[in-house]
Amino acid sequence: MLAFVLAVACLLLWPRTAGAQDPEDQLVRAAEWEARGQPGRAAEAYSRVLAVRPRDPYALYRLGVLDFLARRYSAAAGRFDAVLAVDPENLLALAMRGMLALQTGQRDAARRDFTQALRLDPNAPLPGLGLTFVLLADGKRDEALACFERARKDAQDDPGLLRLCVELARAEALPANARVAQDVLVELAPRDAGALIELGWCLLAVGEQELAMNAWRQTLRLVPGEAGAVFALDWSLREAADRADAAGDTALAARRRREADDLHRPGPAAY
């Protein structure tokens, strides 16, 4: 779960300044290397920025994130501390230093950083989600749930953080909360097959089997033959058929099994 948090945090970039001259040009190049999955090249570009501007908070922060993801925790801590020495109210550096503290078992330090970030911006979703982890670890489930809901509402336009909300809700056996967050994800990207598949599982977890199957059917209308949707719909249809048989509704059971069988036949299917 925490690895997912860190991956999401890595995607939260400050506004970038494009330009033809160093070091601005190096910042743009570094961002491009990150987008291409080349952290080593990105780190080189950020380091060139620091050679010119040793206290550049953005370059320091990004290097800290790269160190964090490479599990160079001491180096990451030094980077985040350096950012906060330049800009004590930097929300992302506070949030990531809090995540680092969580990762290394320093719960009190994590709580301090997340709380400070939320004092600066009560609507910042990343430290809100981080504080949710701390409260859950403290056994304060009701407080954690309230914190989670605030963070989820504040993450409404951020797919990465919404996915984190879904994963956290599932991990903590909060299926209704997971469903709400996944609903919003589908609203943001109604043609995203992966989001629809996940919505189906979220619906199934709260007992909405028919709606879940409709979500998987919609996925197959968008992406015929999509393996995840075929698997989910096949499993759900056959389970529904078994229940119909047990209830004595053999006609419904036959329809469910026929639809499940049709999923595996070649040619166009009517979903």
Every domain of the chain and the residues it spans: 2-160, 189-271
Number of H helices, E strands in the chain: 15, 0
User: Do 2-160 and 189-271 agree at the fold level?
Assistant: yes
- Tell me which CATH code domain 189-271 carries: 1.25.40
CB–CB of 255/271 below 8 Å? Answer: no
Q: Any alpha helices (H) in 172-208, and if so which ranges?
A: 175-188, 193-205
Single-letter residue type at 69: L
Predicted confidence (pLDDT) at residue 18 exceeds the cutoff of 70: no
Confidence of residue 253 (pLDDT cuts 50, 70, 90): very high
Predicted confidence (pLDDT) at residue 29 exceeds the cutoff of 80: yes
Digit-coded pLDDT (tens) for 163-196: 767 776 776 677 877 887 788 778 777 888 888 8
pTM of the model: 0.60
* pLDDT for the residue numbered 70: 86
Predicted confidence (pLDDT) at residue 14 exceeds the cutoff of 50: no
How many CB atoms are closer than 10 A to CB 85? 13
Overall fold of domain 2-160: 1.25.40
